[in-house]
Amino acid sequence: MHVPDGFLDAPTSIATGVVAAVAVGVALKGARRELDDRTAPMAGLVAAFIFATQMINFPVGVGTSGHLLGGALAAILVGPFTGLLCMTCVLIVQSLLFADGGITALGTNIDLMGVTTVALGWLAFVAARAILPKRTSSVAPAAAFAALLTVPASAMVFVLLYSLGGTADIPIDTLAAAMLGVHLVVGAGEAVITFFAIASIVAVRPDLIYGARPLIARRELEVRVSEASA
C-alpha cells in the first residue's frame, strides 16, 4: 500500500502532507492522556512489531501480495493518538531508510496507513466492543472486525486521492473496483493477524491492552460489589 513518489501530483501531495502534519500534531497532544506507566513502554514495541510484521508479505491470489497495515492493532493496543504516532514512526523509517514509500508521498502514506486505519480502526473497535458481551474475550473479535474494515477503507481513500491528483488518466471506477477487490482480501489477512496478536496478549495480560481496560474496570467493580454485600 506504500504510495511511491510520482503517483500523485504536487498539489495533492502537499495537501496530504498538511493533513498528515495536522493529524500528527493532534496526536502529539492527545497521546499525553493515553501514555502512562503501562502504555509508554508498550508504544515503542508496538511500532517495532508493526514494522516487522509489515515486512511479511502474504500472497493474495496469483502474483499479488499484501501485508498488515496495523493501524487498528496499534490503536487498540496503545490508544488511537499514540497509535498514530507509532504508525508515523514506522512510515518515516520505511521511507527514509528503506526507500519504501515515496518521500514526497510521506504525508499521503501517513494519511492512508496511519490516520485512516487508526481512526476507523478505533471507532469500529469501540462500536463492536459496545455491542459484544462485556468481557475481555470480546476484545480480539472486535479488533479483527475493525482491522477487516481498515484495509479496503484505506484503499478507497487512495482512490479518492487519485481521482483528485493522480498523474495518469485512469478511469476511476475501474481503479476503485481493482483496488477494492484486492484489498478486501488483504483486509481478511489484516483481521486474522490482528486477531491473533490481540488474543495472545488478552490471554496473558489483558490490562496491557488500552482498548481492553474499560472491560477490566467493569469486572473489578462487580467483584467489589459482591464482596460488600457478602
Site for other proteins in 115-154 (CB under 8 A): none
Instruction: Choose between 83 and 128: whose C-beta lies nearer to other proteins.
Output: 83
C-alpha distance across the termini of the chain, in Å: 57
| Piece in contact with other proteins (CB under 8 A), picked from 13-21, 114-122, 140-148, 175-183 | 175-183
Q: Does 163 bind other proteins (CB under 8 A)?
A: no
b/e sequence 58-89, b meaning 16+ C-beta within 10 Å: eebeeeeebbbbbbbbbbbbbbbbbbbbbbbb
Q: Which stretch binds other proteins (CB under 8 A): 11-19, 64-72, 121-129, 222-230?
A: 64-72
Residue nearer to other proteins on the CB measure, 141 or 165: 165
Give yes or no for residue 56 binding other proteins (CB under 8 A). yes
Distance separating alpha carbons of residues 90 and 216, to the nearest angstrom: 30
Q: Which of 205, 214, 218, 222 touches other proteins (CB under 8 A)?
A: 205
Angle between helices 139-165 and 10-34 (to 10 degrees): 150
**By rule CB under 8 A, what count of residues binds other proteins?**
75
Distance CA 133, CA 187 (A): 24
Nearer to other proteins, 93 or 126 (CB): 93
